[in-house]
Structures are given as structure tokens and as C-alpha cells.
Structure 1
Amino acid sequence: MTGALSHIRVLDLTRVLAGPWSGQILGDLGADIIKVERPGVGDDTRGWGPPYLKDKDGNERSDAAYFGCTNRNKQSVTIDITKPEGQALIRELVAKSDILVENYKVGGLKKYGLDYDSLKAIKPDLIYCSITGFGQTGPDATKAGYDFMIQGMGGLMSVTGQPEGSPGGEPMKVGVALADVMTGLYSTIGILAALAYRDQTGEGQHIDMALLDVQVATLANQATNYLVSGKAPTHMGNAHPNLVPYQTFPTSDAHFILAIGNDSQFAKFCAIAGLDDLPGDIRFDTNRHRVENRDVLAAKITAVTADKPLDYWMEKLGKAGVPCGPINSIDRVFEEPQIKHRGMAIEVPAKDGSMQPGVANPIKLSKTPPSYKSAPPELGEHTLSVLANLLGKDESELEALSSGKII
């Protein structure tokens, strides 16, 4: 089927995670993604292994699995943008593109004449998305920003980890580069909004995305809890600041998650757990009271759940509609019947005939679903074809660019 964005071409001048994540989403939705990389080096994450992707014979490629998580459905073109000839190629590609996404430091592309103001003179309706750690303005604009430091500076680490004073009680980062991933998502939303505006007005625009802004925006209830109360939230382990019981509890053979969201669910849980007196107890009859008496309630629940195995609780609570779940390792995630049913593990064809593993795009569109045309490309795999077919470069021109180390 034709993808929703099959009429769109994206020039992807990004590397690592946030920018490539956005490009991959657009590619899954049908856009033509041309990923521009440094000749001989490429995206930093190509070397961020082990593990490494494998060819059809099971031999390791030079590209890391990390690179593979965010670069499918793209063409790799190697161009040295530090040279005038390389800059000229980028300008030619811009003239034939709808969107440019970049994550260079503030001002990094201006010295090459590849900043938004320079390129909109070539392509007035260009949508130009800049992704940086701190944005295009402000006292920290010129600083480099990586996910780990943004999780810390943006407050996420202050609400993640075991309570202070307990084992492992120091602030903790999330196990996925969440600030990067969320910035990729917000960047995609911004790009789609700019496309909608362009459809109405014919005008392009510049999108200024900052990891720090995104991290602060996605503090969600933790941020509003502070803004309303004036009290900064702290790290509470697996407990929730606003809901009780909403945390992990032990069973006789594992831990599980109990996620009670209302009084009715609490009553159902208590009936199954043999704690029938608790819903009528003034200390626990409402969520507000349960939050005030969380430690006492958690101890009562723990004493009961620890007596029976995980499967018992999953079966009993699941049948009653009480929100609960196991704590899966990632190998068990992909064995979950629901994950299998939803087709979240995919394989994508590569140039050498191998099938590269990946995780499906979670967007389920009824008319134009995501598609997976090609595996993450080898470095420079499409340089000659893109320059010849899109820009009309002949053999002699390509040879000159190659011998001059422009491509």
C-alpha cells in the first residue's frame, strides 16, 4: 500500500538517536528518507556495539544493533559537507526535498551555508527541523547535550530510583535514552504540523527542538504536582506519588505490578486477596486516605501476596479486571502472546538478502499502515544511485566527486 507520506522526501542530516528516530518514523509512514553521513565514518552509532548486525551467512557486519534500531527505511548517502562541492550537493538535494532534519550544534551548519535562512532562499517552502540539547536560544544554547545529562538536568533522575537512604537510593537514569526518543517523537509531531500548515499556506518554517524542553514537558504529573504544591517530588522507587496501591509487590517466586486506579479496583483486589476489611477501613476507603497511609497498606498487601506464586495472582486478578502485570525481561517481552499478536517483532530485508530484526512501528493506521521496505543501510549504500537518479549526475561527475573525496 502507499504510505501516508509517500509524496514527501526528507533529507536526514542527523546522527545518534533523537533525529534518526524521527526520520525512521517518517520513513515507516512512507516518506523517502535520504540519510547524509560522513564518508568513511558515518553515524556514530554504527560503531556502538556489541552486538552487531549480521549478514545472510551469520557473520557480523560492521554496523551495531544500536544503529539498526533507528535507521530502517532510509537511503545512506555519504557527502563531505565541509567541502564546497559537498555543500553544493546538499543544496541540490534540498531543492528536491520537502523536509530537512539536522542535529548539529547551534550555528554548526551556518558556516557551510546550510542553515535554515540560507536554504529557504533555495526552497522557500522547506520545513527545517533543528534538534539540539538546549535549543537555538538561551544561555546554554551552544552546549552539547546528551540524553543522560538531560535526564539529570531536566528532573527525570530526581524522581527515578529507590527512595533516598535505601539500598540503591541514589538518583537513577531510565534504562532507555528516553529524552532522545521523546524528542524524536515530538520532532515528528512538529514536522507533521508544519506539513499541514504548508498544505494550507504554501509556506515552510523552522522547527526548534530541544532535548531539555522535551524532558521538562514530559515530567507530566510530577511537574504539575510541584507547580501546584511548591514541593519538589522525590524518587520513590516503584511507588506512585498520587496513587496507592500502585507499585511492585512480592510473590513467592517473583515480583509483580499492582496498578490500582480507583476504589472499585481496590475493592476487587481486596476480595481476591482475603483483605475484605480494608475497603471499609477509614484509612484505606479512598485513594486520598490510601496515599496518606501508604506504608501501612503496603505492609498488609505484601504479607498476603508473598504467600502465593506469580501465576496465581496473574490469573485471579486478571480475571477480575484488576490491573496487574509481570515484570518481564526483554526476552520475555517478545514471548508475550499480546506482543506476538500485535506483530511487534519484525524482519526487514537487507541488500545482501538477509533479514534484519527490528521492532515494529506501533502506529496502527487502517488505510495507510507503516511499512518496512529496507533494513538499515550500509554506509554509502545509495550514494551513487541517489546522485545519479535524483540529481542527474553522470558517470564522469560521480567519478570526479569520488576521486575528490567529496562522496
Structure 2
Amino acid sequence: MNATSNQGALDGLRVLDLSRVLAGPWASQLLADLGADVVKIERPGAGDDTRAWGPPWLNDADGEPTGESAYYLCANRNKRSVAIDLSQPDGQRLVKELVSKADVLIENFKVGGLSQYGLDYASLKELNPRLVYCSITGFGQTGPYASRAGYDFLIQGMGGLMSVTGRADGTEGEGPLKAGVALTDITTGLYATVAILAALARRERSGVGQHIDLALLDVQVACLANQATNYLVGGVVPRRIGNAHPNIVPYQDFPTADGHMIIAVGNDGQFASLCMALGEPEWTRDARFAGNAQRVKYRDELIAMIRSVTVSRATGEWIALMEAAGVPCGPINDLSQVFEDPQVRSRNVRIEMQHPLATHVALVANPIRMSESPVQYRHSPPTLGQHMTEVLRDWLDMDAADADESRVKERL
């Protein structure tokens, strides 16, 4: 192990996380995984909304539910929790003391929601000019929708993702679909992390922090990627085409004798290899399929031809043939199959951590692999208010007696 590997890339960075649910907590968990000291500020008695988003629940050693939801557990690893009532003057003063020691603050209150407590950026930058303050909302700090609440499902619809997700009109099961996970929240969390790190890099040069305004709707539109530019450049509104690709053919799912598989041909060489693997080498000489543009034009004919062949063998047989031929191909796994996959197992994507309410909790590992400062799993997702005393001691230099939760109000 490298001499520096016991120290995270963001070791020494202090983050106050006032966010709830997924987009903000996803960003703060990523910062925490990279070594930042993330303190999660939660409502006394309730905490993050997602603590109640079960079942399933984490079970204790006797198999009884602990009340900690799997949803909450997915986004709050490596953090420390303190319970502070922001609606009370004592709570506001305590948060401001913590802000004075913080590098970053993440929040996802409605626009203006924290100004009533004096915890908005304009107020806090006077207290700590170096503070990087990241606000995550549904629609941003400006514009006609700024005051609206935003939720992932709503934004997937408004932001265009559902218009290109789902079976085509006129086919069985037609209609728009959302993604199976809250992708808009996740991608917003990732953009937030990038923005925070960029603001910290600038602070190294300027000495001052800044306000980051992130909107779920902005992120969703940005993440339409080629579909958005297909429209902007081509002038044609993209349509739902199921699992097919709008710009590449063949690049979709195909039926097999015992299920389905994915074939993802990205160039003409791979298409020629596919034809050989399918036992149809003459297709490479068909003018309709001579290049990708032609294959897109004659999509329906080519897909029907491939389907007529793929149903003749089982998925495993086809995958072996395709891999030998150098054709990108794979199964459509459910979650039990994902975590049993030999590649997933070899990469240690499933981890286990000790938990104060259970013998352990199983979580998904951070996918970032760094040679000099690897991700470390220091804290399991915290119970509500678990770290009140130690955070006040570490951040505010209180002695053990003053940092006791029962004496905090006396100090304020």
C-alpha cells in the first residue's frame, strides 16, 4: 500500500450537508468517500425524509427492522449526523458557528427557504467569505418556475427524458417511461460535485468562495446529450424507439431462445463480425447495410433479419459466439445476477460496513479507483444525531462536557 493511501484526496475539507433525499446527499456522499469530513444537519426527531422511505429496512442481528431504510442507506455513507432545529434561534446560531469552520455547504431548500433563518448565501458569505455554497433546486434560483418544488419523476417528464424512453408508438407496451432509478437526481449530484471541486480550485487562487446554482431541469436537459443535439442540429423531434439507438444500427436488444440479449455494434468492422457470427456473411455485401447511415435508413429490415436468427440459440450460446468474434454483446441481468457476475465480484462492487443498529450493512462501493488516495469507508450511514458530541468537539473545539448534547443550549 502506498504511504499516502491512508489519506483521502479531500482530507481536511469540511462540508456541511443541509440537503435531503438524493441529489444533495449523493454529492455529499461522493465528497465524503473522497475523504471530506461531511456533517449532515438533520431535523430532530425526523431526520432526512428518506429515513422513512421503506420497506425495505435494515434488519438488526435478530432480523428485526431497525427503521433505517435502504433508500437512506444508499446515499449517506461516510457522513456524521447532528440533529439541529433550524427553525429555532439556538439552532441557527449553532449552524452559523459550524459554517464559520466549513469549506462547503450543500442545501436543497426551496428558493429563499433558508433566508428566513439567516442561512442563505448572502448572509453566510459575510460570516465566511471562503464558503462554497451549493444550492440544488428543481428549477434554479431564477425564472418563472423558480418557486416550484421539483422531483425527479416530474423533471424526467418535463426535461424530455421520458419522450425518448419507452416503446415506440404503435407497438405493444407503447408509451413514455421514466428510468428505473432517479437518474436526474443522481446526475445533478454528480454535477454538483464537479461544480464544488471547481469552486474550491478557484478559491485556491482567489481566496474567496462562491454560490453554485444547480437546477434539476437544467441538468436533465444537458444530459439529453446526442438526443438534444439531434434535435437542435437536425430539426426533427426524437421519438421513442424502445431499446434501439437513434444514430447507430444494430444497437439494441434481441430475442433469443431463452430470453434476450444486447448487441451493440459501433462500427462497420463490428457489423461484419456480427454477420459472420450469425452465419449470414452475405449481409455485408447488401448495399442497404454497407455503412451505418444505410443501416439506420433500413433499420426495420435489418432488425427483423437479425431477430429471425437470434431466436435460434440461447443467450449464453450467442454471447460466447459474439465474444469470440469481437462483437459487443451481453445479457440483461437482474440485480441478483449483477451482484453474482464474476466481473462485479472481482471488482468488489459490493461492500459491507459495521452499523450501530445491525451487525453490518451491505452497500454499493464507490466506483472511483485512485492509486494514491483510494476511497475509504470510514463511517456507515449514520443514525439520526449520532455524532452530535464529537462534531461539536472536533469543529468547535468544545471540551467533552460542553460538547455534550444536553449542554449545547446552555452554551448558546
Distance 1:400 1:367, change over 3 A: closer
**1:267 maps to which of 265, 272, 275:** 272
**1:178 maps to which of 173, 176, 183:** 183
1:150 aligns to what? 155
The alpha carbon displacement at 1:99 in A equals 0.3
1:64 aligns with 2:64: no
Q: Is the 8 A contact 2:18 2:108 kept in 1?
A: yes
1:399 aligns to what? 406
Q: Specify every segment of 5 or more residues in structure 1 that has no aligned partner in the other structure, as ranges.
A: none
Per-residue displacement from partner, 1:219-260 (whole Å, max 9, x unpaired)?
Answer: 000000000111110111011110111111011001000000
The alpha carbon displacement at 1:391 in A equals 2.1
Q: Residues of 1 paired with 2:12 and 2:108: CA distance?
A: 24
Per-residue displacement from partner, 1:246-292 (whole Å, max 9, x unpaired)?
Answer: 11101100100000000100000101111111111000111111101
Q: Residues of 1 paired with 2:370 and 2:393: CA distance?
A: 34
2:32 aligns to what? 27
The alpha carbon displacement at 1:66 in A equals 0.3
1:313 aligns with 2:318: yes
Q: SS in structure 1 opposite 2:245?
A: coil
The count of corresponding residues between Structure 1 and Structure 2 is 405
Q: Residues of 2 paired with 1:320 and 1:398: CA distance?
A: 65
Q: Residues of 2 paired with 1:363 and 1:3: CA distance?
A: 12
Q: SS in structure 2 opposite 1:386?
A: helix
Identity across the alignment (%): 56
1:383 aligns to what? 388
1:5 aligns to what? 10
Distance 1:47 1:402, change over 3 A: farther
2:84 aligns to what? 79
2:3 aligns to what? none
Q: Residues of 2 paired with 1:281 and 1:240: CA distance?
A: 21
**2:121 maps to which of 116, 119, 137:** 116
Q: SS in structure 1 opposite 2:289?
A: coil
Q: Residues of 2 paired with 1:238 and 1:369: CA distance?
A: 36
Q: Residues of 1 paired with 2:226 and 2:189: CA distance?
A: 21
The alpha carbon displacement at 1:12 in A equals 0.3
1:332 aligns with 2:337: yes
Per-residue displacement from partner, 1:108-140 (whole Å, max 9, x unpaired)?
Answer: 001110001100111110000000000111110
1:104 aligns with 2:91: no
TM value normalised by structure 2: 0.96
Moved more, 58-67 or 18-27: 58-67
**2:195 maps to which of 167, 190, 194:** 190
Q: SS in structure 2 opposite 1:203?
A: coil
Q: SS in structure 1 opposite 2:287?
A: coil
Per-residue displacement from partner, 1:85-109 (whole Å, max 9, x unpaired)?
Answer: 1000000000111000000000000
The alpha carbon displacement at 1:352 in A equals 4.7
Q: Residues of 1 paired with 2:67 and 2:27: CA distance?
A: 24
Q: Is the 8 A contact 1:349 1:373 kept in 2?
A: no
The alpha carbon displacement at 1:353 in A equals 6.4
Q: SS in structure 2 opposite 1:334?
A: helix
Q: SS in structure 2 opposite 1:289?
A: helix
Per-residue displacement from partner, 1:145-176 (whole Å, max 9, x unpaired)?
Answer: 00000000000000000001222211110000
What amino acid is the match of 1:84?
P
What amino acid is the match of 1:346?
I
What amino acid is the match of 1:399?
S
Q: Residues of 2 paired with 1:348 and 1:368: CA distance?
A: 20
Q: Is the 8 A contact 2:388 2:405 kept in 1?
A: no
Distance 1:251 1:63, change over 3 A: same
Q: Residues of 2 paired with 1:77 and 1:307: CA distance?
A: 59
2:283 aligns to what? 278
2:350 aligns to what? 345
Per-residue displacement from partner, 1:167-190 (whole Å, max 9, x unpaired)?
Answer: 221111000000000000000000
What amino acid is the match of 1:204?
G
1:89 aligns to what? 94
Q: Residues of 2 paired with 1:141 and 1:42: CA distance?
A: 25
Let me know the Cα RMSD of the aligned residues.
Answer: 1.5
2:215 aligns to what? 210
Q: Residues of 2 paired with 1:26 and 1:57: CA distance?
A: 33
1:46 aligns with 2:47: no
The alpha carbon displacement at 1:402 in A equals 6.5
Q: SS in structure 2 opposite 1:193?
A: helix
Q: Specify every segment of 5 or more residues in structure 2 that has no aligned partner in the other structure, as ranges.
A: 1-5
Q: Is the 8 A contact 1:47 1:64 kept in 2?
A: yes
Distance 1:403 1:160, change over 3 A: farther
